[in-house]
Chain A
């Protein structure tokens, strides 16, 4: 999706698919479409942060929480139109992202991972500490209705799916613009070789901070969407598990790729539900039945990573190359090389003996 027209084309096609599916399928599927859209918005931001600018974040769930709580509070106390709420939520999260980005500018690899992990764990606890404002354990209810002009019989779930998908697709187009712009190129330069990038005149700290702002904003939008889709904002939904799920989705789908963000979101949403369906239909006992999806999800993560080291998008790319040859056409599917979360591959003891056979 290199050019803007192509991106818009993809967005329009996806929008059409969403509208079609939301009409054809039942309410639960609408809910899943909305879920996928929510996750896509967040994962897309994260995959840009980690895949393009090389900064790992285990705390984007916290940004989602900021977006969600801002939305809930605004809707609760001020009854603004949703679009305005969305803008404010995005802005609030962007500011938070900027603050984190400044702090994160000096951190690398596992240290950044540790700091963002702790952020993801700590931030939601604010909701518990000030239950008067944030509703504590129970959280805040969110009231969101479909607009009048759609008619009284328009299913709310379908409207939620449409709104979420719309935000997700706008994010897709805008991120695509960024990724292929000079800002995106600067990110890649910083990821690949900070020193060289600095010598090239790129302000490394600013570029890295910018990436955090972008990814946080995406997460904030996703949080706002999640608030209206689930009609509830409670700390239990924004734990570290969420942050980890986002990272998982980004890597599984194919790091640095917007298409990868879509695959990853689909996996996050669909696999657990599918496996739960399978296990309940087999009538397994509740303890076992509740845990089989968990086991299966873990196995899926491991297997996908082992079979598709470049993520699903990378795997697809290999298939495309196999069919079309390594030419221009397949190049458009190429995903970005993975970031140096750890010291470069040549330096790690791990890769230094990648050619060792059995010992």
Chain B
């Protein structure tokens, strides 16, 4: 991704009217409906006999970037997994736009509007770039769901009543290719041929194709060179600013995360030990030394 004059990746977020907005406009719902806060209340979750999260309560503000920080093993990844349904929480609620999705399966959670980009390799290496992207659209309503959407019936949870036919899918793909040029160049190539940064781009592009209202990012910069990491962070910022996406960003690299985030939450041993504006957290030297390593 080449950089524009203001440092933001060229081609990212500089689309005057996105396909999404146009569709929503046609259906009478405006872009502001997209933003929704993610409210987590009293979440308790773990693996087998071990509890990794103890009574976690936090709110990721609508359209804002909330950084979740802490040392290894603090429970950051567990938190995202409990929200997206990869693990079933033992107690607690996860509210998106008033609907509780706690305990639902990942397929249902993504349909409700929460997309999770897990840490590590998020691409399916044996499939092509385009196939990886198409997978992102598999949460769109089809069959009965599509009929319901077309007749204007309310969708449970978040998926807005946008079209999901072949034309819309093609348009969404084109939009993704427009935003992420390197993916467009390689659309028929296997995802295994992509570089680390390109894979991260692919993974985020795929998550965006599910038309989420909330994006959970688990260590998007892991294993990337600092330069690429910066581009990824710019991308994340753009998603929040231009598209009003609520973003929960888990990052080991707390300094980078706080630089882009609006709000920050620090986890230690499965409990929240601090929750404040990003700038406040960044300024708290004691806290930084104790929990964040810088």
Contact = CB atoms under 8 A, between A and B. Distances in A.
A and B touch in the complex (CB under 8 A): yes
B104 to A, nearest CB: 7
Contact of B86 (A355, A357, A358, A359): A355
Interface residues of A, number: 6
A162 to B, nearest CB: 46
A200 interface: no
Interface string B84-106: 01111000000000000001111
B108 interface: yes
A356 B85 CA distance: 8
A355 B104 contact: no
B104 A357 contact: yes
The main secondary structure of chain A at its interface with chain B is: loop
B107 interface: yes
B88 A355 contact: yes
B78 to A, nearest CB: 13
A2 to B, nearest CB: 23
Contacts of B105: 353, 355-359
Nearest to B49: A326
A357 B85 CA distance: 9
A78 B107 CA distance: 70
A358 to B, nearest CB: 8
Interface string A347-358: 000000101111
B180 to A, nearest CB: 27
B30 to A, nearest CB: 32
A349 to B, nearest CB: 12
B162 to A, nearest CB: 22
Interface string B107-137: 1100000000000000000000000000000
A355 B107 contact: no
Nearest to B106: A356
19 contacts: A353-B105, A353-B106, A355-B85, A355-B86, A355-B87, A355-B88, A355-B105, A356-B85, A356-B105, A356-B106, A356-B107, A357-B103, A357-B104, A357-B105, A357-B108, A358-B105, A359-B105, A359-B107, A359-B108
Interface of A: 353, 355-359
Given A355-B88, A357-B104, 4 more contacts: A356-B105, A356-B107, A357-B103, A359-B108
Sorted nearest first, the 4 A-B pairs with minimum C-beta distance are A356-B105, A357-B105, A355-B88, A359-B107
